[in-house]
Structure 1
Amino acid sequence: MKQSFYLQLVNPAHPALMIPEDTELLPAHPDYPDILLETKAAKALQALLTRLDAFDKIVPVSGFRTMQEQRMIWKQSMKDNGYLFTRQYVALPGCSEHQTGLAIDLAANIPDIDFICPDFPSSGIYGRFRLLAASYGFILRYPEGKEHITKISEEPWHFRYVGVPYAEEITRRGIVLEEYLSLDERIVS
C-alpha cells in the first residue's frame, strides 16, 4: 500500500481517500473482534499492548467505521448532545479518520465506558502508551493546544496510525498531522 494512504489527512476539507475492504482489516484487540483496524495498524497496536502487558487495562472503543456507522453516530450524538458538542467531538460522515481503518479510540478498562469521550488518563500505563506510541507508528491525533489547527477538540483517547518514521518525527516536533504535511507537500506523493 502506498505511504500516502497512511499519511492522508481526513477532515471536512479532505474527505477520506479510501474506505478499506474487509480483507484489509484485522481485530484491534483479541478480546474485541468487532473493532477493526487496517492490517498494519492492528498489528502495531497489538505489539504495543503486548510490550506494555496492557491488553486488560487499555481497551479499544472504536476503530474502523463504515459510512453508515458514522452517519448513525453523528445523528445519535446530535439527538443526545446537540450540535455544538457533536461538531466538537464527532466527525461528519465521510470526514472521519475512522473510515480509513487507521484511527483507534482507546479507553481505560473501567465500567461504563463513554463511547464518544472515553477516559484515557495521562499517567500510569496510559502515559507509557503515549510515550511509546510513536515507536509503533501512532500519533495522538488531537492534542491539547492544537484545536485551532485540527478544528477538533482535544481527544486524549484518539490515536492515528501513520507509520513509524512519520509518527516519530511528528511526535519529536510536537506537531499535528496538518502541520507535518504542510512542511513539504511532496511527503505524500
Structure 2
Amino acid sequence: MSYDLLLVARRPGQTFEQALHDGPHGGGPLGPERLAQWARIETGLRALLGDVHVHVDADAGHAELAHDATGLQVELFADQGAVAYPYWAHEDPAAFHRLVTAVVALVVRETGLEAYDPQAGAPFDGHVDDRTGVAGSAAIAAGYGGRVHDVPASAVPRCRTGRRTGGSPRPSALPPDADH
C-alpha cells in the first residue's frame, strides 16, 4: 500500500476531482518539453536521494524513478504525474515527510502541475498524514496473514485516476498483471 500524491493540470476554476475525472489520462508520448523537464527532475532527485533506478519510455509516455532505500517512486506522464511511497516505518518520519515534500516541490516546480492529496481530498500542502493509510494497510494485510507483500493486486483499491494506490515497496516487485 502506498501514499499517493497526484500531479495534475487544472484549467482555471476546475477542481482537482474534475481534472482527474475529465482526463486525458496518459496523454500520449513524452514530447521534447516533458523530456527536458524529466531530465531536470532526475538530476534534482539524484541530488536529493542519491542512488535511484530510472526508466523512461518516451514513446509510451512514461518516465519513472524509484529509490529503494525509502520506497519513493516518481512517475511522469505527458499530462500528469505522481509521487508515491509505501507505508513502512522510517527512522525519522518527520525528516522523511520533509523529503517527500521536497520531492513533490521539485516535480511541481519543473512541470507546472499541481499536487493533490487524494487521501486528504485536498491540494497537497506539504502535510502528510500516514495514519489512515497505515491503518488501512494493516486491515487489508490482516486478511492475508498480516503480510502486506502477500496482498494480491486485486485487493488494492484504485485511486481516481484508475491507478492502483500501492501494493509493493518497489515498482520492480509488482506482479506483471498489476498496473501502477
TM-score, length-scaled by structure 2: 0.32
Q: Greater relative contact order: 1 or 2 (C-alpha under 8 angstroms, separation 6 or more)?
A: 2
Q: Which has the higher helix share?
A: 1
TM-score, length-scaled by structure 1: 0.31
